[in-house]
Structure 1
Amino acid sequence: METREYVEYLLKNYNEIVKDVDQMKFELKTFKDIESDEVIESLNFSSPNDEKISTSSISDKTCKIALIYNEVTNRMNKKSREEIYRMMKATEFEITRLNYCIDRLEPRIKEVVKEIFMNKLSWSCVCQKCSISEKTLNKYKNKGIDEIKEMFDLGRLVS
């Protein structure tokens, strides 16, 4: 996806993305470990990973099964938490980055971008509120998107 398309996507979906971050924070805070039935089911349907199990003369299959079960459960729970956390942090970063770029825009352009994308006002409402024509509104909106795109591109060059 081109940078401009990505910036437009972030702007158009800003409120939904913020809600998604809140949802992920909630999910992480109230994360419930995977149930034992789910782990047993996944172990039943998993295929062997070509690791040879060393055998000893003493049969301790029950202990080994319990240890494997416990290890798999802990690993699955940890991976699930880490995935939610990773997605939340990446999304938070993009929203923070977008807000930073918007705050750096000229005041009139910043106002137009916020009213259109964050406050979801109609074009006519924004025109009336900002005392500008639709042509000027369109010009400000496009200029705002272009400037944010340039800031995003600059950030990619630096990192």
Structure 2
Amino acid sequence: MGTMSDTPHPALVLVPHGSRDPRAPETARALARLVRSRRPGLDVRLGHVELNEPLLADTLEDLGGAPAVLVPLLLSRGYHVKHDIPATVAAAGAPRIRCAPALGPHPLLVGALHDRLTEAGWPAAPSDRHAVVLAASGSRDPDGAADVRRTAAALAARLGVPVAP
């Protein structure tokens, strides 16, 4: 069996959480289409953690042992990143699979949050009466909670106002 370096382009598997919101799967598919448009020839797939299809386990099975890089579309190191995704990879017996870290905390995530706030009408010069609540769904995992606090602190520094996670 070869290594991932034997294949010039391992598949890229985007791993969204999944949602009961019917708009969520289309958002994930739109992101996959965008990545494909920017990387023609790259095998880009989706594999949801739960709630939507395809599930990650099914995507890994469809890869048939081919090398892949998983990119969790999750904002912090919570239970899914630390336990569920690695357990799914282990259960699939997929040794040629590598997993990237969660998307945050990261300066690009803070930039995206800032952009979304601006699009929603955030003032260019906020006053001392302004503040932001960073609502993060899900994890009671201490590392995930720490990541959210770090993202809130970085966003507060960028905005110049308090950001409460």
TM-score category, normalised to shorter length? under 0.3
* Higher RCO (C-alpha 8 Å, min separation 6): 1
User: What is the TM-score when the length of structure 1 is the normalising length?
Assistant: 0.23
Structure number with greater Rg is: 1
The structure whose residues are more often strand, as a share, is 2
